[in-house]
Amino acid sequence: MLKTFITVLTQELRLYFRRRMDILNAVLFFMLTVILFPIGVGPQAELLHDLGYGVIWVAAIFASMFGVARLFEPDFEDGTLNLYQTLPVSLEIIVLAKIIANWLAYCIPVVVISPVAGLMFGLAPGEWGMLMLTLLLATPVFVMIGAIGAALSLGAKKGRIMLSLLVMPFYIPVLIFGVNTSRIYINDLGGDTVPSLMILCGLLLFSIPLSAWVSGFIIRED
């Protein structure tokens, strides 16, 4: 089982590397969003500082959807998903490997460059760490929620539009706790960030088995 997981994970990462322009597009979208927002708002340092982490979070959500939209679609079109179901290994293990590979390919670059985005909004170096930590906890949840939507929209002619409609409401709780943690820490409101971080960790741990099981079930039914 572990060998199959590592094999699928490695194979998926190789495929993503071959399509690295798609990853670059997601990163460019993220950076263009955080670059254009300050231009639109104007040189108001205090306002940009207060709104910056929220803008970065929203940009990260949309950047993560670049990869989620094609998480299962290529394998569905060429019949690989049907082949996976014939293997003597749980389909959920394969689905989880694909989800993790997608997160590593599309979300980790966004997390890594988030300090650059924070710099554009006047965030201090000490604040970058909290921003990266919360994004590191939340972006896997975004991909896992998106994986369920991607499985539901398999074969749909307008799958990407449907995917956005399906998953966006479920991103809201993660967005609320993530932004709230960043807001308390960055604005130094005197609150404790530990409860929000624990909730993000709980959402992550809850999403791991749920997304794999639900996505696998949907794929079998298709």
Contact 122, 52 (CB under 8 A): yes
For the record, the structure tokens of 127 come out as 């604040």
The DSSP secondary structure of 155-202, one letter per residue, reads T-TTHHHHHHHHHHHHHHHHHHHHHHHHHHHHTT-S--SHHHHHHHHH
Residue linked to tokens 């993220």: 30
- In angstroms, rounded to a whole number, what is the distance separating the alpha carbons of residues 120 and 167? 29
- Asked whether the predicted pLDDT for residue 56 surpasses 60, the reply is yes
pLDDT (tens digit, 9 = 90+) per residue, 24-44? 999 999 999 888 887 777 667
Return the minimum-mean-pLDDT range out of 73-77, 160-164, 186-190. Answer: 186-190
- In angstroms, rounded to a whole number, what is the distance separating the alpha carbons of residues 48 and 35? 11
pLDDT (tens digit, 9 = 90+) per residue, 86-145? 888 888 999 999 999 999 999 999 999 988 888 887 777 777 788 888 899 999 999 999
Please state the pTM of the whole predicted model.
0.88
First to last CA, the chain: 24
* Rounded mean pLDDT, 171-184: 82
- Asked whether the predicted pLDDT for residue 162 surpasses 70, the reply is no
Give the total residue count for the chain.
222
Radius of gyration of the chain (CA): 18
- Asked whether the predicted pLDDT for residue 1 surpasses 80, the reply is no
- In angstroms, rounded to a whole number, what is the distance separating the alpha carbons of residues 158 and 164? 10
Amino acid in position 29: F
